[in-house]
Chains A and B, each alone.
Chain A
Amino acid sequence: MVSQEGSRPSVQVPVPRVEREALRPPSQEEAVIEVRGLSAWYGSFRAVKDVDLIVPRRRITAIIGPSGSGKSTFIRCLNRMHELVPGARVEGQVLFEGQDIYAPGVDAVEVRSRIGMVFQKPNPFPKSVFENVAFGLRINGYSGNLREAVERSLRAAALWDEVKDKLGQNALRLSGGQQQRLCIARAIAVEPEVVLMDEPCSALDPIATLKIEDLMRELSQRYTIVIVTHNMQQAARVSDYTAVLMMDEDRAGYLVEFGPTREVFTNPRDPRTEAYITGRIG
């Protein structure tokens, strides 16, 4: 069946920088977001079932799993984007800095400005590069120097040198990789505490993908990042912690394993994880 003696995971795990090496699952003290018993529905279909997870501060947490295992649905529950789908609902708790974002009276708009999101397909606004980044600042009533703030965000997203001479150009004329970095710049311009990335490289070529991965490592010095990816190599390359979701017989996604990325890939505790990362599931 799944677990065979002597079979080794096929994914190469790079040796992490020593100071970041995570040896055990994150503790509650490290949590920016703590997910408790989270289930998500589309109408009567349950897409995510009873997930518990700790998202540690200034670390990259990857969520991997086969297609349909609820990865995207799960990550959209973390900044209240899931509920925008008609008929969608959520049960359980998502504690963000100790406060349940689904408690009555919590403002979804505030949650989304503090927990940003980058989407699967680059989705810049059909406006200028400058306006794309400035928009979030404007709507939040930013009173400082808009130009400086835009430049700062574009530099942080490693895009400044490529676009500094065409800030007035329509963002849709940038390449796919540039568009996605613009979306990252746009997300971090509003100074979020967490950046959620839903398969941010799935529409990009390998070189653009590597640039985004480098950028994620860079950003994780300041931001907490959660990335959904169907690319196991990417999770292994980029993340500190990895959560594995799988689909049960009702097609609901549930958490199979969560721990330091190295542990999950080299020494998975669950035979289903091992089967998945060696390519026998999914």
Chain B
Amino acid sequence: MTTTALRTAEWRRRLLRRHVLAAAAAMLLRLAAAAGIAALVLLLVVVARDGLDRLSWDFITSYPSRIATRAGIRSALLGSLWVVGLTGLLAVPVGIGAAIYLEEFAPRNWLTRLIETNINNLAGVPSIVYGLLGLALFVRAMDLGRTVLAGALTLSLVVLPIVIVSAREGLRAVPYSIREASLALGATPWQTVWHQVLPAALGPMMTGVILALSRAIGETAPLITVGALLFVPFDPRGPMDSFTVLPIQIFNWISRPQPAFHQAAAAGIIVLLAVLLGMNAVAIALRYWSERRRQW
């Protein structure tokens, strides 16, 4: 080993210390990553232990019941699908429209910046606040009552900022040169957006939309506020029907004293997680598919 002005014996001692520090940092970071996964695994194990036995086709197709062993999740699952489906129909076109306006058409001035800042802030507003707004606006002022539609409108408000922000990110990922190419051929700004920018942005946009909707399916507080029912022994058949959703049904069962209802709750959680993971899987598939197509 040669010793130079820099690489002295002292330098060599420090080198050892630097390696120790690097190894320690890597270990801490690994622990941090493991903590998240451990929490998820623990959750799944506990829920599976309590609920897996209770989970059956009967559980999914039965209405809730006073008798814990007969209680099923049917009306809550259907209610969740109705509310989230309608939320998607309402929030996705409006959110993507707003994103297109802000990203492609809005003049770069203080008003646009004000709107952008507000949308980002709205994404952080607690959902119970939207629930109170929905109660005052949709249930009472618009007299929609405690219906699927009122719930979906309220959840639309919750997820709208998320849809807008993620749709804008999708649009921003499309290189400016694509817009230039289209405009230089004599396409109008709208033709450019419709035929070139939107198709190229669709994959990442849909990913964001699905993640927003999977947030909607787990929301409880705003729906309790707008008056989702706790006990629904019938199928919601339209936007004007009363409803409950999966998290509310689960909450209801958990708050009962009987252990059999707690089992039903665990089974309900498994159903809810399955729906969520299914939606996330679709989001991942869309992202993969769109990245394979995009090559710039």
Tell me which residues across on chain B come within 8 A of A116, comparing CB atoms. 184-185
Residues of B within 8 A of A112 (CB): 183-186
| A86, B108: Cβ atoms closer than 8 Å | yes
Q: Which chain A residues (112-157) contact chain B, with CB distance < 8 Å?
A: 112-114, 116-117, 119, 121, 123-127, 135-136, 138-140
Q: Which residues of A contact B294 (CB under 8 A)?
A: 126
Find B185's partner among A113, A121, A173 (CB 8 Å cutoff): A113
Complex: A135 Cα to B194 Cα, angstroms? 12
Point out the residue from A84, A110, A135, A186 that lies within 8 Å of B195, measured CB to CB: A135
Mask, A98-115, CB within 8 Å of B = 1, is 000000000001101110
B182 and A110 contact, CB distance less than 8 A: no
Q: Is B62 an interface residue (CB 8 A)?
A: no
Indicate whether A81 sits within 8 Å of B180 (C-beta atoms), given known contacts A126-B295, A135-B195: yes
Residues B156-194 near A (CB distance < 8 A): 175, 177-178, 180-188, 191
Q: How far is the CA of A23 from the CA of B191 in the complex (A)?
A: 44
A244 contacts B by Cβ under 8 Å: no
Measured in the bound complex, the distance between the Cα atoms of B292 and A173 in whole Å is 12
A112 closest partner in B (C-beta): B186
CB distance from A275 to the nearest CB of B (A): 34
Report Cα–Cα, A126/B295, bound state, in Å.
8
Pick the contact of B182: A114, A135, A170 (CB < 8 A): A135
B228 to chain A, nearest CB (A): 44
Q: Which residues of B contact A187 (CB under 8 A)?
A: 184-185
Chain A residues closer than 8 Å to B180, beta-carbon distance: 81, 84, 117, 119, 123
The docked-state distance in angstroms from the alpha carbon of A139 to that of B195 is 9
Q: Report yes or no: A109 in contact with B181, Cβ–Cβ below 8 A.
A: no
The reply on B296 being an interface residue by CB < 8 A is yes
Residues of A within 8 A of B293 (CB): 126, 170
Instruction: Known A126-B200, A126-B295, A172-B295; judge A135-B185 contact (CB<8 A).
Output: yes
B214 within 8 A of A: no
CB distance from B33 to the nearest CB of A (A): 35
Q: Are A119 and B185 in contact (CB under 8 A)?
A: no
Does B196 sit within 8 A of A, measured CB to CB? yes
A139–B187 contact, CB under 8 A?
A: yes
On whether A109 and B184 interact (CB within 8 A), knowing A126-B295, A126-B296, A139-B191, the answer reads: no
Of B181, B191, B296, most buried by chain A (CB within 10 Å of CB) is B181
| Docked pose: A119 CA to B296 CA in angstroms | 15
CA A85 to CA B142, docked complex, whole Å = 44
A31 touches B (CB below 8 Å): no
The interface residues of chain B lying within 8 Å CB-to-CB of A124 are 181
Does A183 reach chain B (CB closer than 8 Å)? yes
Whether A110 contacts B183 by the Cβ 8 Å rule is: no
A79 part of interface (Cβ distance < 8 Å): yes
Q: Which residues of A contact B186 (CB under 8 A)?
A: 109-110, 112-114, 136, 139-140, 190
Q: A119-B177, A123-B178, A135-B195 are in contact. Are A79 and B188 (CB under 8 A)?
A: no
Which residues B199-254 have CB closer than 8 A to chain A? 199-200
| Contacts of A166-205 to chain B: CB distance below 8 A | 170, 172-173, 183, 186-187, 190
Whether the pair B181, A119 counts as a contact (CB closer than 8 A) is yes
* B window 265-296: CB within 8 A of A: 293-296
Please, which residue of chain B has its CB at the minimum distance from the CB of A120? B177
B-side contacts of A119, CB under 8 Å: 177, 180-181, 184
Residue from A113, A125, A183 whose CB has the most chain B CB atoms within 10 Å: A125
Shortest distance from the beta carbon of A142 to any chain B beta carbon, whole Å: 12
Contact A109 B187 (CB under 8 A): yes
Q: Which chain A residues border B191 with CB–CB below 8 Å?
A: 139
Chain B residues closer than 8 Å to A172, beta-carbon distance = 295-296
A-B contact pairs, 13 of them (CB 8 A): A81-B183, A84-B183, A112-B183, A112-B184, A113-B186, A119-B180, A123-B177, A123-B178, A125-B181, A126-B178, A126-B296, A135-B185, A187-B184
13 additional contacts, CB 8 Å, given A126-B293, A139-B185, A183-B181? A87-B108, A112-B183, A112-B185, A116-B184, A117-B184, A119-B180, A123-B175, A123-B181, A126-B200, A126-B294, A126-B296, A170-B295, A172-B296
- Lowest 4 A-B CB distances belong to which pairs? A113-B186, A123-B177, A136-B185, A117-B184
